[in-house]
Chain A
């Protein structure tokens, strides 16, 4: 939906009088403006976070700008030292392997084979939590974690914002 509207506006150069932003960028904007007060004080155990950059949001969508915002929010919420970036990242991040209908179409083995690169990449960070701001990535990242015996927890971003709000 997000990507479809964005791409429609862009490709067909449709005149519009509104700004098209992701909620991620709004979180970042609100935190910067001091309207959303978050603190990483809760993270006393030093839970490590990493991130998945959804293709439709970053690579094909808005680009590195939103990926930077995403990282900014995670750092604010989890603590500067508790964020470990993936490699490669942002616009050059790997696809989760579950998009394009792969999650719904049945071919489970093929889909998991596609997700192997993603699994290895996430596993290499040693993170406890993988943030996926896309429900499709979420399902896939969780599935490959279970399938390949990963140890991380797959979550959306807002859960942690709630936890960090003061």
Chain B
């Protein structure tokens, strides 16, 4: 009998928990998502924009929240916390307490009357205390669930029954329930995922920053709210004290991070450098250029994908970067001494010393403290309840080889619970945890899930068009430029339009529910949404149509944000005119839209993994453990890839042993077929039904593919060669790792190790990284070099070690290694690109020339060994390989994911995923997490029997086709072939992606794209050209 439960408990409703829940629910498990506050979304919902793409945070998060809220197999438990957890992996019993909301969620229609009438004004914690809300409140405009709640601590009635009750009188739905009591839920689950998130460091503990005393000193999270359209100043960026628009803003880095003095947080928080740069860039946009932005930093840590380019762009745009640890923030100007103490103005004075040791004073209007990350008290309490210990830095310890497991089997961690990390990495880990759980509970897949039933589709063939138009404000993204009301009024005048509505956020849950009701009530049979891009939002709206009983293809989007308000910020009138034009075109086109039948492709439940390094093996094993057969293709003879040359991780775990067990498991796993010394010959097909031919002649049919083709160390050359290859005392990090491993063997035989005989060793950082040819940081080398230096110090404590570096980027708890290295007397000397170290040979003596950055004097070192921390670069054949699956690569040659923030392991091509070094340089634990994440993303496909395919496909009119064959040649998806009977071109609907290339190529006008026919295109063009009012 199968005792394994098919449901999962996810604790924490931030983006990490949301991603875990979605991945698990789509892979066949029922998920309970427990959130402590009144709505899911976490810190990401508070952010304004996200780096490095400057995407609107709410805009990319909101669809996920809505999906979570609507998902049939996710049950949201808000205002809830875990009381107890008992049991074992596969079979836990969790008790959850759901605190009273005092608003009946089934009755609440989110009209907001309760909040409007509530007399009690309290600080708004969603805005970090900037601005106010009522005791009856909605956490934020796009909240999921979109239900009001009453704050028991502040509600007048709940504290003194009978005194108020204004909300209950105002509520038209009768949803207010002052007698609401805590509810207890007993859940039987197979596994638990902890996505407990983080809180920002409270800088009021550092009184010299003035935080809490000086109103215009704010934390970075508060500044996000000041920038945000849903924030206290509606996105107009005002400073708190006098609502003036700041013209000079300073960011102070490392507040509560890398500080062992008052803050007691020794680690680096990893994300603050990037968010500070982003905030400076966005603030500059807000101020239309009239802003002096200065960032005071210690080391600039832009170690993620495309971060370094972002940093360079920020420098070029005039943002000042000053390397200085500012010790105090004072009020500027003359302070007036009164009996009550000092009184002073609004501006702030920052005094700092530059790198030459000169003192400077600068006045700012606003100072932003880049506060670090730490676990919240409630997270720590929960972990201690679960008996999961924390390390001395207050994080959950983890193994680099299994980064998401805890000391308790069946309980997994993801996100910043184990180490500070950014959104893409948290999202990756969220999927990685889903993979672990999916493997653990694979025997109960689809056992406890429910299936969605859509209402039958309404037949609209005989109906004249009844078009509904929904115009979106997108907060202020659209409404601050385009006159949305005017566009809506204009749409009302167009033929066929019977209903028009404008919404603050059309994608919010209440609007979606409302839209379903409206479609039914008004009998709409075509829908136009004028908002953002179909790339992110079309699936959501199409599903909304299905729920209302309409065919999802009776829908068009007019992109009045990306293609209008964002690009015409300075011309609001013309932008409004353009919005009208775009809406008119969409309406003209939607009129001709016809219902299309759903197209599905059966899934080959088999995966292809390319690359037999650690990433490829972990991905293959994860898939195999989740119950799916895998073909693992490796170009080389043996498995292991780059990891074979690695000695140990930064946490001191030796790699060789782990690697061997990984190789053994991979070779012996019943679900894995290994193809070594093999490459790909060709691939055809699409998600669900790929067909790949290997160089060993085998042909594999597979539903998904994971590209884990790895990277390689760059071979130092040109001006970065440093005698490498000519002089055997010059080595790379990996070569020294090999020596370390050899040393271990030597030690075992009792002979004196080779490395311990060295007296002077110089490490040169950033060899080939962060230069115009390779404008990225290789992420792993700082930590690797410092760890290696520490190893050398272990072997010979008297060894003199010098590190020539540009910025030390030991992010997260790796920072401890850096501190240890300094404590052990390793000398750190900074260089910049204009003053690179030189290496020459004087007879047989090596001479390193460098400039000491503190003394400003030239310096000569005669090392016994020089170690080059050379760049990690993508494999040259990665580009070739990506073409097989129509995936793209970025300018540096790394494979490009579908979305830098929220889809870090997916490709834009469905059914193909990526992981490891081919995505970006990264350490083992991140590669492993990515491999597992890619595996579960693949399982989301493999777990289904069929996948939906494009319905708007090309169709050939055989009467017109002349069988010239041009279309078949031009089709990038090999979807067109000659029909053997008719001898005419014929389109395989399951392969066609609806790109339209064949339509344009056909000389006989024989091919049409469904819902994109000539009549419709011409109608849209005519609508664009006619100056019919508006």
Binding site for B on A (CB under 8 A): 7, 10-11, 13, 59-60, 63-64, 80-81, 84-85, 87-92
B261 smallest CB distance to A (angstroms) = 6
A-B contact pairs, 26 of them (CB 8 A): A10-B264, A13-B264, A13-B392, A59-B208, A60-B261, A60-B262, A63-B207, A63-B262, A64-B207, A64-B213, A80-B339, A84-B337, A85-B337, A85-B341, A87-B335, A87-B337, A88-B335, A89-B342, A90-B207, A91-B207, A91-B208, A92-B208, A92-B210, A92-B328, A92-B329, A92-B330
Are B337 and A81 in contact, CB atoms less than 8 angstroms apart?
no
The 7 A-B pairs of least Cβ separation, nearest first, read: A91-B207, A91-B208, A64-B207, A92-B328, A63-B207, A87-B335, A88-B330
Whether, in the assembled complex, B377 has its beta carbon less than 8 Å from a beta carbon of chain A, the answer is no
Whether, in the assembled complex, B260 has its beta carbon less than 8 Å from a beta carbon of chain A, the answer is yes
Interface of B: prevailing SS:
loop
- When chains A and B are docked, how far (Å) is the Cα of A74 from the Cα of B261? 29
Find the B residue at minimum CB distance from A61.
B262
Whether, in the assembled complex, B754 has its beta carbon less than 8 Å from a beta carbon of chain A, the answer is no
Whether, in the assembled complex, B962 has its beta carbon less than 8 Å from a beta carbon of chain A, the answer is no
- Residues 243-285 of B at the A interface (beta carbon under 8 Å): 260-262, 264
16 additional A-B pairs beyond A80-B339, A87-B337, A91-B208, beta carbons within 8 Å, are A7-B261, A10-B264, A13-B264, A13-B392, A60-B261, A63-B205, A64-B213, A81-B339, A84-B337, A85-B337, A88-B328, A88-B335, A89-B342, A92-B207, A92-B328, A92-B330
How many B residues, CB 8 Å from partner?
A: 18
- When chains A and B are docked, how far (Å) is the Cα of A85 from the Cα of B341? 8
Find the A residue at minimum CB distance from B208.
A91
Mark each residue of chain B from 330 to 352: 1 if its CB lies under 8 Å from any CB of chain A, else 0: 10000101010110000000000
- When chains A and B are docked, how far (Å) is the Cα of A13 from the Cα of B264? 9
A22 smallest CB distance to B (angstroms) = 15
Binding site for A on B (CB under 8 A): 205, 207-208, 210, 213, 260-262, 264, 328-330, 335, 337, 339, 341-342, 392
Neighbouring A residues of B341 by C-beta, 8 Å = 85
Find the A residue at minimum CB distance from B266.
A11
- When chains A and B are docked, how far (Å) is the Cα of A86 from the Cα of B434? 59
Neighbouring A residues of B328 by C-beta, 8 Å = 88, 91-92
Neighbouring B residues of A89 by C-beta, 8 Å = 342
A117 smallest CB distance to B (angstroms) = 10
Find the A residue at minimum CB distance from B205.
A63
- When chains A and B are docked, how far (Å) is the Cα of A90 from the Cα of B214? 14
Most buried by B among A11, A13, A87, A89: A87
- When chains A and B are docked, how far (Å) is the Cα of A59 from the Cα of B328? 10
- When chains A and B are docked, how far (Å) is the Cα of A94 from the Cα of B848? 41
Are A11 and B264 in contact, CB atoms less than 8 angstroms apart?
yes
B708 smallest CB distance to A (angstroms) = 41
- When chains A and B are docked, how far (Å) is the Cα of A138 from the Cα of B207? 24
Are A87 and B207 in contact, CB atoms less than 8 angstroms apart?
no
- When chains A and B are docked, how far (Å) is the Cα of A30 from the Cα of B189? 57
Find the A residue at minimum CB distance from B330.
A88
Find the B residue at minimum CB distance from A89.
B342
Neighbouring B residues of A63 by C-beta, 8 Å = 205, 207, 262
Neighbouring B residues of A81 by C-beta, 8 Å = 339
Neighbouring B residues of A11 by C-beta, 8 Å = 260, 264
Neighbouring B residues of A90 by C-beta, 8 Å = 207
B649 smallest CB distance to A (angstroms) = 25
Neighbouring B residues of A10 by C-beta, 8 Å = 264
Most buried by B among A7, A60, A88, A89: A88
Neighbouring B residues of A87 by C-beta, 8 Å = 335, 337, 342
- When chains A and B are docked, how far (Å) is the Cα of A64 from the Cα of B262? 13
A83 smallest CB distance to B (angstroms) = 10
- When chains A and B are docked, how far (Å) is the Cα of A106 from the Cα of B328? 29
A63 smallest CB distance to B (angstroms) = 5
- When chains A and B are docked, how far (Å) is the Cα of A10 from the Cα of B264? 7
Neighbouring B residues of A92 by C-beta, 8 Å = 207-208, 210, 328-330
